[in-house]
A and B are shown apart, each in its own frame.
Chain A
């Protein structure tokens, strides 16, 4: 009996408690149902709009990049149409199967397949298009089009390629475009306020200037992205795409670069290492900015095999290195006119002052010998002769009597150790060797001998070809100059160097002496005379990389190509009213007059004899 009672009690308790729980859930159920009712009925319109907004997406439309012209209106860079095979991963269930189906009639590179498969999932989630094969041939295009009914998830679309018409000639000055890296990508999205999805106009999708003018004038060239409003249905198919704003084609870039002079430079260099820079004296604009050897910009912009890229990157010739802006060369004898200007300005010499050059200069402090390039020397030597025949002894003596700080100030005013160009890509401004720099760098004080070496452009003094060109330009224009630039018709203020003593007459004589370097019978570059039919002023230089104490040792070092001297020349013409100034460096070219000279003359010829 007790057990039955117990069972009964237990059953009542159980029932009560079960009812309690069910009622609790019942109340909860009412709350939930009320929430669902709220969402679906009371706030229906609000959520309906939100869902509509979700499926209408803003899409950015990529603009075409501006065209780049040379100073005569010749097209240097443009965009050419090409056809790409573009896929819609959202509608592809099995990417492997899809590739297999395509491969049955189209040849698709393994590399392309790999890229496609690696990006497939992300593109599918975001309903983004994915390019499978770039620049397909007309035959492949036809093969695909006859089967296009089988492929709702792919199409052949017109896209553009950035096309460099002279890919081997303007590699360094114009540079090239490429795909942005992740950091650059974030920046672009932010700066141009792009949407997640973009309709690409270029086969390489987003492209930005990586180097050269393409980089410097990125903002001008890019143009403005447009906007489309795309409506999709539940299966991700585009129902409608409305243009809300058209993309704006990038502005064209008119440069001061001259096509013919670059072709001349390219031909004259014939892949030797070096650089040439030529400047239009009228306004300081750069007409030639050429570094050799070059590299193929089209391949870099539109796809290069890793193997080929590595080959370029690791090449001994360092083709990517822009020697015109970054190559550091001792100016050697080409510095002599600058030292002469300093001597006259400071009253240390005049055109009548002469020394007896016996082939070497002896430093009074320790008797150290500084040799001239000519054994036995030049004999009685005044400034005019010292420049035309490039006497070292004369300038050793002058430099010896100079104050290093004053001399540095003078060299800086001529553009050494400073940025020459306002719109060049990654220019190296180098430096003028101050005594304090030597203390920091070499932990040695400044010796008088260091100044003596600077008198002939050796020792610690280094400069870039563009600095040498600017220096030639300043001299040609008698101290007046503007900053150098690559964009045509850039408004720049004219500057001039202040002189107290150095007069117009001195300018005339300096030009005269430099004219004689080529036109005089004893000039160091007299062999250039026949290569042109106008008058050119110049100064040659031979930068020693290894200084030998005696002739035998010097001949030995010449056997190794890379230790041979660099050949330099600065020149301007036609005289007496020069229009162009030019500097040339040929690495390991040995003799300035006979190796760098012809390059300078070909470039000047192409500029002057048009």
Chain B
């Protein structure tokens, strides 16, 4: 929305987003320090990511959206190539090939797809007339499915789902016809049993089953969720205090630094802490909503809307899982969970959002 005028150049920025994101990141470091049992190495590494991530965000806010528009295909292609590099040349960790190792840091290129797929689709649908015709609809869906399948073959179901959603959001926002949506939903519901039997791994079915009946297997797949609920519930209104969460520190909670960090926050800071945290996220959503409504053109609208919804979805899937309303799937708490790839990808997303929001089209008066 705004820019600072210097003699030779201007800096584009959005004060609301930059302040709230920086605040969230710093609070995140604070939470992570407790969740990692006061591990200084984890904190330092994450701080470096936050620092350079914030700088990257500001840098990416500077180019004109036109550049993202022109190079969106190129960015997507690079992202997909990197995913393939991870599949074929990356180190295998826990039976998955999701990472590319750079020695001092390993990055997960599939995180980039969830940014550049919606941008590419937005640029593709930029000039398409309303309502979007069947040909364009199918082409877009085909592209989304291809990227989805590549990433889910790593395997990485969590990120693949977000990628699928990111594409569909843009397609929907761009004006996918309601008739199509209706028939697609009907087909999906009808084929649900078939998908259940053929496309889900036994452990994934188990996870969904325990969601509805945690007593089914209290020490197996439901263990994580049971312990997570105990952690959140025992936090109460005020929480147990920083570093005092027994569930988190006595190893009852799994993955305290990554997927289940929300439960750590809930245990140590209670409902008040969570309300403040959720409030910060809420502020970012509302700001993004405002920015996309007021974006300068259709491309910027679609990109801001799409990317912000990716951010919201990640948050909701993570929290839904931790509080036991959604099945367990690997998903970080955005801007807080340990892990550079997720963090950096959201800084990139917000950098692009700010760029789209702060550059005004020069309209001849």
Q: Using CB atoms and an 8 Å cutoff, list the residues of chain A in contact with chain B.
A: 6-7, 9-11, 13-15, 17-18, 21-22, 25, 28-29, 31-33, 35-37, 39-41, 43-44, 46-48, 50-52, 54-55, 93, 125-127, 232-236
Set of chain A residues within 8 Å of B307, measured between Cβ atoms: none
In the bound complex, CA of A31 to CA of B235 (Å): 19
Could you tell me if A36 and B266 are in contact, using CB atoms closer than 8 angstroms?
yes
Min distance, Cβ A362 to any Cβ of chain B, angstroms: 79
Set of chain B residues within 8 Å of A41, measured between Cβ atoms: 236-237, 271
Could you tell me if B232 and A39 are in contact, using CB atoms closer than 8 angstroms?
yes
Could you tell me if A48 and B233 are in contact, using CB atoms closer than 8 angstroms?
yes
A32 touches which of B39, B169, B316 (Cβ 8 Å): B316
Question: Which partner residue on chain A sits nearest B267 by CB separation?
Answer: A51
Min distance, Cβ B293 to any Cβ of chain A, angstroms: 6
Question: Which partner residue on chain B sits nearest A46 by CB separation?
Answer: B233
Set of chain A residues within 8 Å of B282, measured between Cβ atoms: 29
Could you tell me if A47 and B230 are in contact, using CB atoms closer than 8 angstroms?
yes
B234 touches which of A7, A48, A93, A127 (Cβ 8 Å): A48
Could you tell me if B319 and A32 are in contact, using CB atoms closer than 8 angstroms?
yes
In the bound complex, CA of A29 to CA of B129 (Å): 34
Set of chain B residues within 8 Å of A126, measured between Cβ atoms: 251
Indicate whether A22 sits within 8 Å of B230 (C-beta atoms), given known contacts A40-B270, A54-B250: no
Could you tell me if A18 and B305 are in contact, using CB atoms closer than 8 angstroms?
yes
A21 touches which of B169, B232, B270 (Cβ 8 Å): B169
B312 at the interface (CB under 8 A from A): yes
- What string of 1s and 0s marks CB contacts (under 8 Å) between B254-279 and chain A? 00000000000011001100100010
B301 at the interface (CB under 8 A from A): yes
A36 touches which of B227, B232, B247, B252 (Cβ 8 Å): B232
Question: Which partner residue on chain B sits nearest A35 by CB separation?
Answer: B323
Q: Using CB atoms and an 8 Å cutoff, list the residues of chain B in contact with chain A.
A: 39, 129-130, 169, 172-175, 227, 229-237, 240, 243-252, 266-267, 270-271, 274, 278, 282, 285, 289, 292-293, 298, 301-302, 305, 309, 312, 316, 319-320, 323-325
Min distance, Cβ A397 to any Cβ of chain B, angstroms: 76
Set of chain B residues within 8 Å of A43, measured between Cβ atoms: 233
Pairs of residues from A and B, 9 with the lowest C-beta to C-beta distance, nearest first: A47-B233, A51-B234, A39-B233, A234-B249, A50-B230, A55-B246, A47-B234, A40-B271, A48-B234
Question: Which partner residue on chain A sits nearest B233 by CB separation?
Answer: A47
In the bound complex, CA of A82 to CA of B315 (Å): 56
Set of chain A residues within 8 Å of B292, measured between Cβ atoms: 18
In the bound complex, CA of A21 to CA of B252 (Å): 36
Question: Which partner residue on chain B sits nearest A39 by CB separation?
Answer: B233
Could you tell me if B236 and A44 are in contact, using CB atoms closer than 8 angstroms?
yes
In the bound complex, CA of A48 to CA of B325 (Å): 20
Set of chain A residues within 8 Å of B240, measured between Cβ atoms: 234
Could you tell me if A51 and B230 are in contact, using CB atoms closer than 8 angstroms?
yes
B175 touches which of A14, A36, A39, A234 (Cβ 8 Å): A14
Could you tell me if A32 and B249 are in contact, using CB atoms closer than 8 angstroms?
no
B235 touches which of A14, A40, A46 (Cβ 8 Å): A40
In the bound complex, CA of A491 to CA of B234 (Å): 60
In the bound complex, CA of A39 to CA of B319 (Å): 13
6 residue pairs of the A-B complex, CB under 8 angstroms, read A31-B325, A32-B325, A39-B232, A40-B274, A48-B236, A51-B231
Could you tell me if A25 and B316 are in contact, using CB atoms closer than 8 angstroms?
yes
Could you tell me if A125 and B251 are in contact, using CB atoms closer than 8 angstroms?
yes
In the bound complex, CA of A10 to CA of B176 (Å): 11
Min distance, Cβ B178 to any Cβ of chain A, angstroms: 10
Set of chain A residues within 8 Å of B232, measured between Cβ atoms: 36, 39-40, 47
In the bound complex, CA of A15 to CA of B295 (Å): 11
In the bound complex, CA of A25 to CA of B270 (Å): 23
Could you tell me if A40 and B237 are in contact, using CB atoms closer than 8 angstroms?
yes
Could you tell me if A28 and B316 are in contact, using CB atoms closer than 8 angstroms?
yes
Could you tell me if A127 and B251 are in contact, using CB atoms closer than 8 angstroms?
yes
Min distance, Cβ B252 to any Cβ of chain A, angstroms: 5
A9 touches which of B130, B172, B174, B305 (Cβ 8 Å): B130
Question: Which partner residue on chain A sits nearest B248 by CB separation?
Answer: A234
Indicate whether A44 sits within 8 Å of B233 (C-beta atoms), given known contacts A17-B172, A17-B173, A21-B169: yes
Min distance, Cβ A51 to any Cβ of chain B, angstroms: 4
Min distance, Cβ A379 to any Cβ of chain B, angstroms: 85
In the bound complex, CA of A232 to CA of B173 (Å): 53
Could you tell me if A14 and B173 are in contact, using CB atoms closer than 8 angstroms?
yes
In the bound complex, CA of A11 to CA of B300 (Å): 12
Min distance, Cβ A405 to any Cβ of chain B, angstroms: 61
Set of chain B residues within 8 Å of A15, measured between Cβ atoms: 293
Could you tell me if B325 and A234 are in contact, using CB atoms closer than 8 angstroms?
no
Could you tell me if A13 and B250 are in contact, using CB atoms closer than 8 angstroms?
no
Could you tell me if A36 and B250 are in contact, using CB atoms closer than 8 angstroms?
no
Min distance, Cβ A84 to any Cβ of chain B, angstroms: 25
In the bound complex, CA of A29 to CA of B279 (Å): 11
In the bound complex, CA of A342 to CA of B231 (Å): 82
Set of chain B residues within 8 Å of A37, measured between Cβ atoms: 271
Set of chain B residues within 8 Å of A13, measured between Cβ atoms: 130, 175
Could you tell me if A54 and B325 are in contact, using CB atoms closer than 8 angstroms?
no
Set of chain A residues within 8 Å of B251, measured between Cβ atoms: 125-127
Min distance, Cβ B147 to any Cβ of chain A, angstroms: 21
Could you tell me if A10 and B305 are in contact, using CB atoms closer than 8 angstroms?
no
Question: Which partner residue on chain B sits nearest A236 by CB separation?
Answer: B250
Which of A22, A31, A39, A93 has the most chain B CB atoms inside 10 A of its CB?
Answer: A39
Could you tell me if B230 and A55 are in contact, using CB atoms closer than 8 angstroms?
no
Set of chain A residues within 8 Å of B250, measured between Cβ atoms: 54-55, 127, 232, 234, 236
Known: A13-B175, A40-B233, A234-B250. 4 other contacts (CB 8 A): A21-B309, A44-B236, A48-B233, A51-B233
Question: Which partner residue on chain A sits nearest B175 by CB separation?
Answer: A13
Could you tell me if A35 and B234 are in contact, using CB atoms closer than 8 angstroms?
no
Indicate whether A35 sits within 8 Å of B230 (C-beta atoms), given known contacts A54-B246, A55-B250, A234-B244: no
Could you tell me if A35 and B169 are in contact, using CB atoms closer than 8 angstroms?
no
Min distance, Cβ B321 to any Cβ of chain A, angstroms: 11
Min distance, Cβ B86 to any Cβ of chain A, angstroms: 27
In the bound complex, CA of A232 to CA of B246 (Å): 9
Set of chain A residues within 8 Å of B312, measured between Cβ atoms: 25
In the bound complex, CA of A73 to CA of B173 (Å): 93
Set of chain B residues within 8 Å of A9, measured between Cβ atoms: 130
Indicate whether A51 sits within 8 Å of B169 (C-beta atoms), given known contacts A13-B130, A22-B289, A41-B236: no
Which of B235, B243, B316 has the most chain A CB atoms inside 10 A of its CB?
Answer: B235
Set of chain A residues within 8 Å of B174, measured between Cβ atoms: 14
Min distance, Cβ A35 to any Cβ of chain B, angstroms: 5
Could you tell me if B323 and A51 are in contact, using CB atoms closer than 8 angstroms?
no
Could you tell me if B130 and A10 are in contact, using CB atoms closer than 8 angstroms?
yes
Question: Which partner residue on chain B sits nearest A31 by CB separation?
Answer: B325
Set of chain B residues within 8 Å of A25, measured between Cβ atoms: 285, 309, 312, 316
Set of chain B residues within 8 Å of A14, measured between Cβ atoms: 173-175, 298, 301-302, 305
In the bound complex, CA of A18 to CA of B231 (Å): 35
Min distance, Cβ B328 to any Cβ of chain A, angstroms: 16
Indicate whether A18 sits within 8 Å of B293 (C-beta atoms), given known contacts A40-B233, A40-B235, A40-B266: yes
Set of chain A residues within 8 Å of B246, measured between Cβ atoms: 51, 54-55, 232-234
A6 touches which of B130, B237, B301, B325 (Cβ 8 Å): B130
Question: Which partner residue on chain A sits nearest B292 by CB separation?
Answer: A18
In the bound complex, CA of A6 to CA of B302 (Å): 16
In the bound complex, CA of A420 to CA of B324 (Å): 65
In the bound complex, CA of A408 to CA of B235 (Å): 80
Which of A40, A44, A232, A233 has the most chain B CB atoms inside 10 A of its CB?
Answer: A40
Could you tell me if A234 and B245 are in contact, using CB atoms closer than 8 angstroms?
yes
Could you tell me if B175 and A47 are in contact, using CB atoms closer than 8 angstroms?
no
Set of chain A residues within 8 Å of B285, measured between Cβ atoms: 22, 25
In the bound complex, CA of A526 to CA of B38 (Å): 86
Question: Which partner residue on chain A sits nearest B298 by CB separation?
Answer: A10
Min distance, Cβ A135 to any Cβ of chain B, angstroms: 31
In the bound complex, CA of A11 to CA of B295 (Å): 10
In the bound complex, CA of A46 to CA of B233 (Å): 8
Indicate whether A54 sits within 8 Å of B230 (C-beta atoms), given known contacts A10-B175, A234-B243: yes
In the bound complex, CA of A15 to CA of B291 (Å): 11
Min distance, Cβ B270 to any Cβ of chain A, angstroms: 6
Indicate whether A51 sits within 8 Å of B247 (C-beta atoms), given known contacts A10-B175, A41-B236: yes
